[in-house]
Amino acid sequence: MKIVVLDGYTLNPGDNPWTSVEQLGELTVYDRTPREKVVERARDAEIVLTNKTPITREAIAELPNLQYIGVLATGYDIVDTAAARERGIPVSNVPVYGTDSVAEYVFALITSYFRRPALHSELVKAGEWQKAGDFSFWRTPLAELAGKTIGIVGFGRIGRRVGELARAFKMQVLAYDVCGKAPSSFEVGWAELEELFRVSDVVTLHCNQTPENTGLVSKALLSIMKSQALLINTARGGLVQEQDLADALNHGVIGGAAVDVVSSEPISEDNPLLHARNITITPHIAWAALEARRRLMQTTAENIAAFQNGAPINVVN
Give catalytic residue positions: 236, 265, 284
- Rounded Cα distance between 107 and 177, Å, is 20
SS percent in the chain: helix, strand, coil, step 5: 35, 15, 50
Could you give the CA distance from residue 155 to residue 123 in angstroms, rounded to a whole number? 38
Q: What φ, ψ does residue 79 adopt, rounded to 5°?
A: -110, 135
Amino acid, res. 160: R
| Whole-number Å distance between alpha carbons of 208 and 203 | 16
Q: From start to end of 109-252, where are the E strands?
A: 149-153, 172-176, 189-190, 202-205, 230-233
* Contact (Cβ atoms closer than 8 angstroms) between residue 316 and residue 92: yes
Helices (H) and strands (E) in the chain, counts: 12, 12
